């Protein structure tokens, strides 16, 4: 009789340990999924967002070159 009770208690402990492992696994899976979605969203945004700095640098270079060309003509 005691052996059956001990077997039941052991089985119950194993079930609870597996339940805890499943909970941790689910939490990690959800965090991973959220991180993946955030990474994809950032990549799409970065790909489609216009690069305003590039336009500014081109305009600045053009003005800078014009300034030196004007000096050479004088």
Q: Can you give the chain as a three-state secondary structure string?
A: CHHHHHHHHHHHHHHHHHHHHHHHHHHHHHHHHHHHHHHHHHHHHHHHCCCHHHHHHHHHHHHHHHHHHHHHHC
pLDDT at 35: 97
Number of domains composing the chain: 1
Range of the domain at 64: 2-73
pLDDT digits (tens, 9 = 90+) for 5-64: 888 888 888 888 888 888 889 999 999 999 999 999 999 998 888 777 666 666 666 555
pTM greater than 0.75: no
């Amino acid at each position: 009789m005691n052996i059956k009770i001990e077997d039941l208690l052991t089985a119950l402990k194993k079930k609870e340990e597996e339940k805890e492992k499943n909970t941790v696994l689910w939490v990690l899976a959800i965090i991973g999924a959220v991180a993946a979605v955030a990474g994809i969203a950032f990549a799409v945004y970065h790909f489609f967002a216009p690069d305003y700095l590039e336009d500014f640098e081109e305009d600045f270079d053009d003005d800078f070159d014009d300034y030196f060309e004007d000096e050479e003509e004088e």
